[in-house]
Structure 1
Amino acid sequence: MARNLSTASVRSRLSAVVRRLSAAVAARVSVDPRALAAFRIGLGALLIADLLLRSRSLTAFYTDYGVLPRRAFFSDYSTSYSLHALSGEPWAIASLFAVAGGVALALLVGYRTRLATVVSWLLLFSLHARNPMVLNSGDGLLRMLLFWSAFLPLGARWSVDAVRRADRGADAAADAAPTADPVGGPASGDGGGPASGDGGGPSTPGPSEPAVASVATMAILVQILVMYLTNAVHKYRSDLWMGGEAVAYVMRADQFTYHLGNHLAEFSGLLRAFTLLWVALLFASPLLLLLTGTPRAVLASLFAGMHLGMAVSIRVGLFPVIVVVGLIPFFQTPVWDALDRAVAGLNRSTRLARWRARLESLARAVRSLAASLPRPTASRRLDGLRSEGLAAGIARGRARFSAVVPTVFLVLILLSSAGSVGYAEVPDPAADALDAVDMQQSWQMFAPDPIHTTRWYVASGTLEDGTERDVFRDSTVDFDRPARAETTYRTARWRKYLKKVSAADNENHRSYLANYLCTDWNRTHETDVETVTIYRLYERIHPYNGTVEAANEFELIEYDCSGEFVQDA
């Protein structure tokens, strides 16, 4: 008897421990539905902004008239598949950009949210595959965030989907009621029910709806943590980062700096402090997952503030903003409850209140219009597909899929990140799975050593009349260090592209670039160019005394515009 009691007691204690651990994990991986809604809006806005920025070089980067025509793409990336490679015409790529923008807008407003998320990921995956030479870490992170988002209820709040669910609930309640008060009942759409858009329905913020805790919420949080920790390990192996000199060197490499960054190079003590603070934050990043509530929000805000500082100091595309959006799920329910109270306390006569009233009126008008449209009758529906058994089976299958797939890929990205810093070896099947969806983890942003030289490029073209022009900048040929190196690049993506072109394993791309410069010049100028010679020049300045430590130039390729498509570098 005592033995039985002892066994029961052990089981009870183990169960209690498991329950406490489960509760502790759930508290740390839970994400408030309002955070998911804000995250969805941020993702949609980022996708639209990304498309607009890329469209400035649409022809140059994604068509047969650019730096990677399809014959080069199919030759160099034979294992890659891209919808954007089905045609090399600018109008076709522009059409795909427009479709992606429309789907991103649907994601932003929360219309058919899950479908919009999946399609956005597929289109982004295809776009990235079309020209890997212009990608940066921000692109990889945005793609990862979209992947995990496909398994999250992003449309539960502040979305068209939430309004539609509220309407269906109101219609069902009205149909079930024996009578409806024509003046103040729920059917009037002007009372306090869900249909009004101003009550307690899913479209209205409120603390009552529980936070979401799942494998997918864990994955979206761990993804940010993996990025920080992997980068921290890379930086730990750098004397410049651990010695506090890295940011000072970056600020001297003025192909990156702009706005505030143009004025920070002289404040070496401040930059040293920023370097050490950033390294400390990276190593403290596990606290983003270990802390909860307000302490977590404070730490996440500190990370977000550092990234916003990057956004106004160094030209690295959308990367800082993408990370800030990725940090939104770390803000838990107490933060959103406080925001709700602040919004509720606003004076109703303010401009914000007037705009809210207009939006609610517009939403009611749209719902009324939708309700007036003819709907298919029940006799036209496939009754078998509406059966409860089939619906339950589909729901169970969807739940299992939404749990198994994120679990598998969460394990894979942890393996990949450990492998990228030499702490594990990724098995070949796992590496193949990660490659198939482009989810390999590296995160070497400015690490191990940051870019600490100012780089610029000169494309000296000899024209038919014997004169020389820089055919990249359409200017006179000048090898001197420019006053601001960042002005010599058309966009941040061009800077990234040129850096990759100059790498030793990308010699073919030097021919692709030179061929593009030849054809683009001859298409837009009266005097053709006959040969193009591309140079990379650099200069390294000591961050503290301003003296030149090193300077050199390197010829990447001399290209005959009338010769073979690919020529020896």
Structure 2
Amino acid sequence: MARSSSVATARSRFRTVVRRLSAALAARCSVDLRALAAFRIGLGALVIADLIRRSRSLSAFYTDDGVLPRSALFADYGEVYSVHALVGEPWAVALLFALAGAFALALLAGYRTRLAALASWLLLLSLHARNPMVLNSGDSLLRMLLFWSVFLPLGARWSVDALRRAGAGTDADAAAGAGGSERDPGADDGDESATAGPSGSAVATVATMAVLIQVLLMYVTNGIHKRGSDLWMDGEAVAYIMQADHFTYLLGNHLAEFTGLLRGLTVLWIALLFASPLLILLTGIPRAAIASLFVGMHLGMAVTMPIGLFPIVVVVGFVPFFQTPVWDAAERAVDRFGPPAALERWRARLESVGDALASLDASIPRPTPSGALAGLRARVGRGRPLLSTVVPYVFLVLIVLSSAQAVGYAETPDPAENALETVEMDQHWRMFAPDPTRTTRWFVTVGTLADGTERDVLRDSPVEFDRPPRAEATYRSARWRKYLGNVASTDNENHRSYLANYLCEDWNRTRETAVENVTIHQQYERTDPYNGSVVAANGFELIEYDCSGEFIQDE
């Protein structure tokens, strides 16, 4: 009897420990449904903003008339899984942009949310594969956040899908946690594998854990890379970055002289990187406080460095870190003070549009599926809980392995590496690491015209090799800066010919006096942040290109 009693006691204690550990894990992985709704809106808005910004260079970067025609793409990259690579005309690429924008708008509104998230991710993956030379870390993070969004109940709140469920008498929280018996594969009816978080308005799943860890891995990996840099560890890095004029604008153009402040910002940033595991270990208000520090730093980057949408992508990625206490407090504040009248009007309009869309969707007649099709749908429905758990779990393990490999702590097996490469989920995160950018760089594209004169054919301006007053203004956009920096890399000699050929053809299509020869130079100057003296200055020729010669011309 005594032995049986002790065994029962041990089992009871074990179950208690397991329950406590499970509750602790759920508390750290839970995401409020309102946070997921805001996250969804942010992702949709980001994709739309990204498409608008890319459309300014649509012809240059994504058509056969641009810097990477499809013949060059296939020659350099082999198999390319991209629907954007099936077409080369500007009008066809514009249609794909419009299609992606439509799905992003559906994602923003929460209409057929899961389908919209999946389509947005696939189209973004395709767009990125069309021209890898223009991608930055913001593109990588947005692509990864969209991947994880496919497995999250993004449409449980503040969405057309939620209105449709309300009309059908289905509670949003119940849908997010348990799902319904009649499921629409395009809509977001929630996640059957979800378990309730510490609050009924939160969910904790493998996917919620994965999206949080995805953001965390970016900081942990980047912090380990930076740990090997004396400039970062000594607190000097940001002061040197502010000397790279092509990476500064707005407030960044005025901060270079405040070296003490920049040193403090360097120390603070390194401290945040090393403290980033607290983003998972802490919960509630303490987690929100740490997340707010990261958000503040990235908003500071947005007004000092022209690095595209990267800071805003990160800010959206932090939305799931704000847990239920934060959203409850925000709702109490709104209830107490009341929303602004303009916001009320906008909310009323959006609700009206959402109701109209939900009614329109419900009124569309749908054919009754045949017995075989109904059986297939039933089998797919039964398999969804397994799929929504297994796929995120597998890729969560893979991204952790990939991050460990990026910093030399592990090796990713070849099959795992192939899977990561297929969906572009490799984890590198070398932003300004291990050593920061500290040299101002600009490009000069000397075009010799048919009348013997010379012109900078990239900017249609007089040829000038001296350091410009504002180096960032010599680039058409942050994406052009990224592209030109990659062209200058020693691994991309062919792309120098592609760029020169584009400059020749683009000029000759639109000007009366033809260009016969293009020579591309990269100039650079390094300045000491403490005394302003020029430490190094030089330039070199990347390629001299005959506009009437072969497509690829070697030096």
TM-score by length of 2: 0.92
C-alpha separation in 2, matches of 1:210 and 1:503: 50
SS state at 2:56 partner? helix
| Structure 2 counterpart of 1:114 | 114
Pairing 1:524-563 to 2, within 5 Å after superposition? 524-563=510-549
In the other structure, the counterpart of 1:223 is 214
1:473 aligns with 2:462: no
Matches within 5 A, 1:115-194: 115-169=115-169
What is the deviation of 1:3? Answer: 2.2
Cα deviation 1:142-180 (Å, max 9, x = unaligned):
000000110000000000000011111189xxxxxxxxx
Q: CA deviation at 1:5?
A: 2.1
Give me the whole-angstrom Cα distance separating, in 1, the residues matched to 2:339 and 2:435: 54
* Paired position in structure 1 for 2:175: none
Classify the secondary structure of the residue corresponding to 2:448: strand
Q: Does the 8 Å contact 1:511/1:567 carry over to 2?
A: yes
Partner secondary structure for residue 17 of structure 2: helix
Verify the 8 A CA contact 2:160 2:357 in the aligned structure 1. no
Show CA shifts across 1:512-560 (max 9, x none).
0000001011111111111111000000000111100001101100111
Q: Secondary structure at the match of 2:451?
A: coil
1:381 Cα deviation from its structure 2 partner: 4.9
Superimposed CA distance per residue, residues 257-281 of structure 1 (whole angstroms, 9 cap, x where no aligned partner): 1111111111000000000100000
Residue 259 (structure 1) aligned to one of 243, 250, 274? 250
Aligned partners of 2:160 and 2:355 also within 8 Å = no
Contact 1:347/1:353 (CA < 8 Å) preserved in 2? no
Matched, 1:270 2:270: no
In structure 2, distance between residues paired with 1:359 and 1:487? 39
For 1:365 and 1:536, the matched residues in 2 are separated by 56
Give the number of aligned pairs: 529
Which of 310, 322, 327 aligns to 2:301? It is 310
CA RMSD of aligned residues (A): 1.9
Q: Give, in whole Å, the separation in 2 of the partners of 1:7 and 1:286.
A: 38
Instruction: Verify: 1:102 aligned to 2:112, yes or no.
Output: no
Aligned to 2:284: 293
> Which one-letter code corresponds to 1:34 in the other structure?
R
For residues 114-159 of structure 1, the C-alpha deviation after alignment (integer angstroms, 9 at most, x for no partner) is 0000000000000000000000001000000000110000000000
Q: Cα–Cα, structure 1 residues 215 and 360, in superposed 2: closer, same or farther, change >3 Å? A: closer
Tell me the CA shift for residue 422 of structure 1: 0.5
Distance in structure 1 (CA, Å) of the matches to 2:469 and 2:348: 52
> Which residue does the alignment assign to 1:334?
325
Q: Secondary structure at the match of 1:538?
A: strand
Task: Identify the residue that residue 211 of structure 1 maps to in structure 2.
Answer: 202
Kept after mapping to 2: 8 A contact 1:502/1:556? yes
Relative to 1, partners in 2 of residues 1:423 and 1:471: Cα closer, same or farther, differing over 3 Å? same
Task: State the identity as a percent.
Answer: 71
CA offset digits 1:22-47 (Å, max 9, x no partner): 10000000000000000000000000
CA contact (8 A) 2:62 2:131 kept: yes
Distance 1:530 1:421, change over 3 A: same
One-letter code of the match for 2:27? A
Assess if the C-alpha contact under 8 Å between 1:33 and 1:209 holds in 2.
no
Q: Which of the residues 441, 445, 453 maps onto 2:431?
A: 445
The question of 1:11 aligning with 2:2 is answered: no
Letter in 2 for 1:291: L
Contact 1:29 1:218 in 2 (8 A): yes
Against the structure 1 CA distance between its residues 565 and 348, is the aligned structure 2 distance closer, same or farther, given a 3 Å change threshold?
closer
CA distance in 1, matches of 2:370, 2:27: 43
Task: Tell me which amino acid in the other structure corresponds to 1:306.
Answer: M
Distance of 1:361 and 1:51 partners within structure 2: 27
Shift in alpha-carbon separation, 1:360–1:406, aligned structure 2, 3 A? closer
Deviations 1:209-252 (A, max 9, x none): 43110100000000000000000001111111111111111111
- What secondary structure, in the 3-state scheme, does the structure 1 residue paired with 2:459 have? coil
> In 2, Cα distance between the equivalents of 1:397 and 1:361?
36
Which amino acid is the alignment partner of residue 500 of structure 1? N
1:231–1:447 Cα contact (<8 Å) kept: yes
Specify the structure having the higher radius of gyration (Cα): 1
Mapped to 2, the partners of 1:347 and 1:489 lie a distance apart of: 45
Residue type matched to 1:305 in 2?
Answer: G
- The separation in 2 between residues aligned to 1:368 and 1:216, in whole angstroms, is 31
The aligned counterpart of 1:185 is none
Whether contact under 8 Å (1:534, 1:556) holds in the other structure is yes
**Tell me, what secondary structure is at the counterpart of 1:461?**
strand
Aligned-partner residue type, residue 462 of structure 1 = T
1:512 counterpart residue number? 498
The answer as to whether partners of 1:348 and 1:354 remain within 8 angstroms in 2 is no
